[in-house]
Amino acid sequence: MLIGYMRVSKSDGSQVLDLQRDALRGAGVEPERIYADLDSGRKDARPGLTACLKALQPGNTLVVWKLDRLGRDLKHLINTIDDLSQRDIGLKVLLAGAGAQIDTTTANGRLVFGIFAALAEFEAELIRERTRAGLAAARARGRLGGRPRKVTKEVIKMAMAALADPQASPSEVARRLGITTTTLYVYLNGDGSVKAPGQRLLDGAEKPERLRSTANKGRHDAAQGNPG
């Protein structure tokens, strides 16, 4: 049985479902077996896709107009396809570029997605390598002169890059950068998105945390009559 899924997005300008619906129906999908979503960004919830995936049974084939209608990004796409494969569900993409189609129920279609999976793993490994190199560089800078780690613009950027990997642990990232997890969460969310204090630091409108502490200590010593 064929089950269709279609999506329109404000972010990419595709506001009308008619083109996708006509393509799915032309591929043999019954109107009552077509699920749809309207979203405005990469991280929006997709109740239509959730319902569609739940409705699929072993031996069914999911039909989509284009690959970007199904996956938020390459990793999400590969994970979705792998899940379908594990459940003995096929995928048919009606427009895969240059007028070609992809059908994972065929040997050629499985080969194409095997290549996609390899590329996704390659991309993930590149991100991990850049993260490790960046953290190593940050640690090296933090050890110069024996000074404790300061929460600087560079540290924030490094943490953002590290946390962009969904598998990254905030506590581990904080440890490698020489700061506490609590301090990390002052500036960033767990997914690496920046909070207001972090944005001010990036914009140069806020002093690094260590510098603020040093400045406050100097003012306290002066008030107590202690030498600086």
| Same-domain pairing of 146 and 94 | no
pLDDT of residue 11: 55
| Same-domain pairing of 16 and 59 | yes
pLDDT of residue 74: 72
pLDDT of residue 192: 87
* Alpha-carbon span 174 to 215, nearest angstrom: 24
pLDDT of residue 180: 87
Q: State yes or no: is 171 an active-site residue.
A: no
* Alpha-carbon span 44 to 41, nearest angstrom: 6
| Same-domain pairing of 86 and 138 | no
| 50-82: pLDDT as tens digits | 999 999 999 999 999 988 888 777 777 778 888
| Same-domain pairing of 98 and 14 | yes
| Same-domain pairing of 95 and 134 | no
Domain coverage including residue 76: 2-105
The one-letter amino acid at 21: R
How many structural domains compose the chain? 2
pLDDT of residue 138: 65
| Same-domain pairing of 197 and 133 | yes
User: What CATH number is given to the structural domain containing 68?
Assistant: 3.40.50.1390
Cα→Cα distances 161→68, 79, 111, 135, Å: 24, 22, 32, 10
* Alpha-carbon span 224 to 206, nearest angstrom: 27
| Same-domain pairing of 100 and 139 | no
Closest CA to 1 of 54, 58, 61: 61
In this structure, how many other beta carbons lie within 10 angstroms of the beta carbon of residue 147?
10
Taking 50 as the pLDDT cut, the residues of the chain under it are: 143-148, 210-228
Q: What is the DSSP letter of 148?
A: P
In this structure, how many other beta carbons lie within 10 angstroms of the beta carbon of residue 81?
23
The single residue of 9, 85, 193, 213 carrying the catalytic annotation is 9
| DSSP H stretches of helix in 43-151 | 47-55, 74-86, 107-143
pLDDT of residue 220: 46
* Alpha-carbon span 216 to 144, nearest angstrom: 23
- The DSSP-derived string for 45-64 is --HHHHHHHHH--TT-EEEE
Is 115 domain-assigned? no
The sign of the CA dihedral 108, 109, 112, 117 is negative
Closest CA to 190 of 176, 170, 172, 160: 170
pLDDT of residue 141: 61
pLDDT of residue 206: 58
Predicted structure pTM score:
0.50
| Same-domain pairing of 6 and 100 | yes
* Alpha-carbon span 36 to 72, nearest angstrom: 15
Is 113 domain-assigned? no
